[in-house]
Amino acid sequence: MTISSPRQNVTRGGWGRVFRPHPISLERKWRVFGCLKHQERYTGNILLQKTYVENHITQKSKINRGELPMYYAENTHPAIIDLETFEKVQAEIARRREMGVFANWSINTTCFTSKIKCGNCGVSYRRSGKRQQTDSNQVYYIWTCQTKDRNSVSACNAKNVPEKMLQKVCAQVLGLGEFDEGLLLEQIDKIVVNGQDKLIFHFYDGRVITQHWESTARKDWWTPQARAAKSVYSKKNPRSSGTITCFTGKIYCGKCGQNLRRNTSTRVSGEKTHHWRCPPRNDCAHNGLEENLLKTISADVLGINEFDEAVFVDKVDRITVVSNEQLIFHLKDGSDVAHQWQFKRRQPAWSEERKQRHSKKMLEVWRDKHEQRENS
Ligand SMILES: [Zn+2]
Ligand SMILES: [Zn+2]
């Protein structure tokens, strides 16, 4: 049996059950004993006809579940363990079965274990930890529906609940300033995670309290370090969804340092246009770079008449968008080429006033023509 340290079991950046070290001496004895503990024959006695051959042609052995009588033969052979020990072990097995998950040393149980239930599928939530990149001694815990965890979101889309949030809401429900494990164990039978923002507390005394909560998982987890790690990952693994073009992962913003993303919009005419922009909420003060313009500029920089994807991929390492006026092409041969560009704004839509002025003018033109025709 190998004993894993807690650190080995949780890979950085990945979710996993956080194990605690086993109390070896006790548990090892139990395991070594494992193969003996269900077998009465080690006590020197034997239970006969525990299995039987159902059909003499197939010779298939079946477990006797009362179809045939069983015979208990005592002192048939020397005992390996005495009957008293054997019976104690059977009692221990029963006790551990009763305790369920709490009897398993390898599962790090907390006061929430077996108490958090999925409102969708009814199973218990399990705890997952993620070591923080900044401080590997810190583990960020969330509770997840086991159906969702084992299968996928399509199997159960129950909400994950960060442990800190559980503690906070429990304290509120119990009317405490600070979370208290003991009081939770004493008073609360189960907590059902319901919908997007509800936790339903079932008390042992029969009371049921529904408490709203708001997930802070994204905020808690989405640290600048996590952002940077995600960005590195995204560069190595371009998204499979969405259109991958020769520009994907090659255009960076000089201000926020992030990859520009391709946005597609449809004009009134039905024509589709593509713009390369910073991720939303990054206030980088440069406008979107239109893809056609980017192609024209690229062709210009590469000295070719018409933009060619193969040439672009072959020659250009990346492009930095410095501002609304400047792009820098970093070529694979190590040279940098700065290029001016001008963001072209399309004609803004006509204002109501302008439309009225225009129709009035057109009316005058029409009247003039009409009058001229009548007069002539
Ligand atoms: Zn579920
Ligand atoms: Zn930016």
pLDDT surpasses 60 at 10? no
pLDDT at 37: 54
- Give the number of whichever ligand sits closest to the CA of residue 193: 1
Q: Average pLDDT of 279-283?
A: 74
CA of 194 to the centre of ligand 1 (A): 10
Q: Average pLDDT of 82-103?
A: 77
- Whether residues 26 and 5 share a domain: the answer is no
Question: Domain tally for the chain?
Answer: 3
Q: How distant, in Å, are the alpha carbons of 145, 214, 248, 290 from that of 219?
A: 21, 11, 27, 32
- Whether residues 4 and 140 share a domain: the answer is yes
CA 13/CA 29 separation, integer angstroms: 35
Q: Average pLDDT of 254-259?
A: 86
CA of 10 to the centre of ligand 1 (A): 24
pLDDT surpasses 50 at 294? yes
Evaluate whether residue 172 is within a structural domain: yes
Q: Average pLDDT of 198-213?
A: 92
Coil, strand, or helix at residue 65? coil
Q: Average pLDDT of 154-180?
A: 88
* φ, ψ at 156 (rounded to 5°): -160, 125
CA 260, 261, 262, 268 dihedral sign is: negative
pLDDT at 262: 87
CA 270/CA 288 separation, integer angstroms: 20
- Whether residues 127 and 229 share a domain: the answer is yes
Decide which of 228 and 219 is more confident.
228
Q: Average pLDDT of 193-217?
A: 88
pLDDT at 34: 56
CA 26, 27, 28, 30 dihedral sign is: positive
pLDDT surpasses 70 at 217? no
Q: Average pLDDT of 20-49?
A: 61
Q: Average pLDDT of 45-55?
A: 79
- Whether residues 282 and 302 share a domain: the answer is yes
CA of 131 to the centre of ligand 2 (A): 29
Decide which of 307 and 92 is more confident.
307
CA of 256 to the centre of ligand 2 (A): 4
The token pair at 346 is 């399309």
pLDDT at 346: 56
pLDDT surpasses 50 at 36? yes
Decide which of 22 and 142 is more confident.
142
CA of 91 to the centre of ligand 1 (A): 33
CA of 121 to the centre of ligand 1 (A): 4
- Whether residues 116 and 207 share a domain: the answer is yes
CA of 125 to the centre of ligand 1 (A): 8
Decide which of 175 and 118 is more confident.
118
The token pair at 292 is 């056609």
Q: What does pLDDT average to over the chain?
A: 78
Q: Is 97:90 a contact under the CB 8 Å cutoff?
A: no
Q: Average pLDDT of 271-299?
A: 84
Residue partners of 356: CB distance under 8 A and separation at least 6: none
Evaluate whether residue 293 is within a structural domain: yes
> Which residues form the domain of 218?
1-19+106-237
Evaluate whether residue 216 is within a structural domain: yes
- Whether residues 286 and 137 share a domain: the answer is no
CA of 271 to the centre of ligand 2 (A): 27
Q: Is 193:117 a contact under the CB 8 Å cutoff?
A: yes
pLDDT at 107: 63
CA of 277 to the centre of ligand 2 (A): 8
- Whether residues 305 and 330 share a domain: the answer is yes
pLDDT at 220: 66
Q: Average pLDDT of 52-73?
A: 80
Share of the chain above pLDDT 70, in %: 78
CA of 301 to the centre of ligand 2 (A): 23
- Give the number of whichever ligand sits closest to the CA of residue 122: 1
- Give the number of whichever ligand sits closest to the CA of residue 279: 2
CA of 255 to the centre of ligand 1 (A): 43
- Give the number of whichever ligand sits closest to the CA of residue 284: 2
Q: Average pLDDT of 44-61?
A: 80
Q: Average pLDDT of 369-376?
A: 70
